[in-house]
């Protein structure tokens, strides 16, 4: 499967490495091209670096590994390139303020992925996953699972059953056990 990674930092780089190690074609991207190219160089398998718009166009599945508050801006920049795509949202409503992480209030009483779906629009098929593990442990847990070690649970949520079904093999290939958490209203 072709996977576009938008944001090649703490979360996007290890996720992309896990997908590439499992044999998926991965295009890392970032606003800083050097970061995307560095992530691609560290990955095994078929991977490259490019711009966020290139990753969005490339991917059958697009991972939006950007800070929660940056999500609306990035979606606006990518525009129609996300139309009809399956988008994985691993973000949590957390930001950095004064050097520390802080929780962001989600508007309108929605869950975080319900709000992200609203930002993306209904033509985008959102699946929430890879948000329940710390970025610094994701690569180690996934690699252990890929190599036959114990597999950590990885819940996923979505309102589009076909999109959820398409993402399950990615979760499993990344070295985790996919656990259906229900719809976006049920998400953590």
Tell me whether strands 94-97 and 25-29 are parallel, antiparallel or unpaired.
unpaired
**pLDDT, one tens digit for every residue, the chain (188 residues):** 999 999 999 999 999 999 999 999 999 999 999 999 999 999 988 999 999 999 999 999 999 999 999 999 999 999 999 999 999 999 999 988 888 888 999 999 999 999 999 999 999 999 999 999 999 899 999 999 999 999 999 999 999 999 999 999 999 999 999 999 999 999 98
Question: DSSP label at 32?
Answer: S
Q: Is 68 strand, coil or helix?
A: helix
Residue 66 in contact with residue 91, Cβ under 8 Å? Answer: yes
If we measure between CA atoms, which residue out of 184, 180, 162, 160 comes closest to residue 172?
A: 180
Q: Is 134 exposed, middle or buried (0-12, 13-18, 19+ CB in 10 A)?
A: exposed
DSSP H helical ranges for the chain: 12-21, 33-42, 52-58, 71-78, 112-120, 135-146, 161-173
Cα angle, residue 33 at apex, residues 121 and 26 outer, rounded to 5°:
65
Q: Is 47 strand, coil or helix?
A: strand
Buried b (16+ CB within 10 A) or exposed e, 45-66: eebbbbbbbbbbbbbebbbbbb
- Angle between helix 71-78 and helix 112-120 axes, rounded to 10 deg: 20
Q: What is the pTM of this model?
A: 0.96
């Amino acid at each position: 499967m072709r996977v576009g990674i938008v944001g090649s930092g703490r979360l996007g780089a290890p996720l992309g490495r896990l997908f590439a190690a499992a044999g998926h074609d991965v295009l890392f991207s970032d606003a800083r091209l050097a970061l995307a190219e560095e992530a691609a160089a560290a990955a095994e398998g078929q991977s490259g670096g490019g711009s966020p718009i290139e990753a969005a166009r490339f991917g059958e599945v697009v991972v939006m590994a950007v800070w929660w508050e940056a999500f609306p801006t990035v979606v606006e920049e990518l525009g129609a390139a996300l139309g009809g795509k399956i988008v994985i949202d691993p973000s949590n409503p957390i930001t950095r303020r004064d050097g520390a992480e802080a929780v962001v209030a989600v508007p309108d009483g929605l869950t975080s992925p319900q709000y992200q779906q609203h930002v993306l629009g209904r033509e985008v098929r959102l699946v929430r996953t890879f948000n329940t593990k710390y970025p610094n442990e994701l690569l180690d847990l996934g690699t252990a699972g890929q190599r036959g070690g114990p597999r950590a649970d990885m819940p996923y949520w979505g309102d589009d059953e076909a999109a959820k079904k398409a993402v399950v093999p990615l979760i499993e290939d990344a070295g985790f056990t996919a656990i259906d958490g229900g719809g976006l209203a049920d998400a953590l």
